[in-house]
Structure 1
Amino acid sequence: MHSLLLGLAAALAWGIHDLCVRFVSQRTGILPAMLTVFASGAILVATAAFAFGDWQAMTLPAAWLAGLSGAIFALASYALYRAFALGPVKLVAPLIGAYPVLSLGMAMLQGQPVGPGHWLAVAVVAGGIGCIAVFSTQDDGSPATLQAAAWGLAGAIGFALTFAAGQAATQAGAELPVLIVTRLAAILILLGLALLARVVQLPGREVLPLLCLMGALDAVALGLVIYSGTLPRPEFASIGASLFGLVTVVLAWLLLRESMNRAQWISVAVTFGGIAYLGF
């Protein structure tokens, strides 16, 4: 239950983060924005890690797993941005939201008891998230391409592997040192991509405060999911965190007054029903 609550808190943070993306996506490039977000988050994590982190408990296996988690997280985040840039929400969102199925599968391979009810609940959560997008009355005009589907699937696989590696790292070492290693590895990967694409530049000053806020939200969310690796059933945190897309839609309705139809509200109720089942 505690792991699930951490995942829901992470979903809230990532949902707010994605709402902020609406305001910056048209004002700066993907890689510069992601670098700023990841760097500002690293400053926050580093402050906590060097002040309160148990560095003596950090092991070499934990460091390797944390670095792997960060590298995959950077690539998964880039895939997410690319998928939404290429294809419609109703195509990409179900693919991204389906990553808990992979998380539960990896938990089963690690010896965790996974029953038919768990699989059904995960299917309900993933399906509910997808229906939120499918039943949207808005059309972004993006073509539904195989390339977008490939990027979306890559993002889903990446997020599942990110959380699995990060949670394994916390089991092998201390939580805060693991988080800073994860964040630094992600920054190095993004910096390498930016250098290859020759887009190393700072975003405009008008979006820097918002990007820093996004960095804090992203760091807190990833930290909560990775920290759940010290608790029973950490895969439930990954499942709960998958609600970030649903949170974004609801916040857009609440704060931006965007419309939601009856089918979308039913999808919200069904999704929370799946989460409630996992809680018990």
Structure 2
Amino acid sequence: MPKAYVFTRYGGPDTEAFVDVDRPRPGPGQILIAVRAAGVNPVDWKLRTGFRRPGESGEPVFPLVFGSEASGVVEEVGEGVTGFAAGDEVFGNTAAGGYAQYALLPAEVAAHKPAAVPFTDAATLPVAAATAYDGLRQLDLPTGATVLVTGAGGGVGAAALQIARSFGLRVLGVASEGKKDFVESLGAVHVPSGPGWSERVRAAAPDGADGVYDLVGGEALREAAGLAADRAKLITAGAPGPDVEALGGARVRRARTAAVLDAVAELVVRGALDPHVTQTFPLERAAEALRTVEDGHARGKVVIEVAA
């Protein structure tokens, strides 16, 4: 039987396990893929602890398969699906987890993988890169404007720096001193995080930032709000809606469309976006991959590869 890496209840790593599962059957509007790669993201372990995405409701049915994004080869399509056929190489958001040999993707948030993009890179695009893209489109800054990105050394941050540069923006990236070279390699001005970081931003941008993309939340969001020339251009993917709305800003509005996936994949093809996959693990080492992200030791993107 196919294997999947799951959590059996809310809690810590002790809730995780490999289990045998039935091969999924695609429902209306879904496609079934043989997974070739699955991206590993902080939201994966956060969901295991009981975190709910905004708007989610209902009671979970355990076990739940880890993973929010995957790439692979179409095995079967569900009723009403057009534009996809068995054998197509695709990537997208998962309907019920991606750390598995097979996964279901909603066709509306799946896209054809360009031949020039490896499965490992494609598997990182639906969460981090698409979130970065959606946020920058929401800010809608003109060419030459300055955007400040907090949490610039993470997966979404690294994508945001590159996509912002491709939009013709000047980018300030707040990240630890240890990520200075990484942030600068992506075309951004590095601002060391830690006490006094906002003053360092003011020194680099005396008139403030035309837009602020926060990926940290908490005190960092509150401090970043004071750097926004216009609070309507303050957005966050790192804090709940009420927190940023109280400051005059908004949460990132996720489009979750195939068009966005096509757009970020095209940026990869053009060389404007490098997903920076720095570590890969086979499916049988999924726990190790997840710990790398959960412990905060990951630099760049971590991906689980699934043998054909």
From the CA coordinates, give the structure whose radius of gyration is larger: 2
Point out which structure has higher relative CO (alpha carbons under 8 A, 6+ apart).
1
- TM-score normalised according to structure 2 size: 0.24
In the superposition, the TM-score normalised over structure 1's length comes to: 0.25
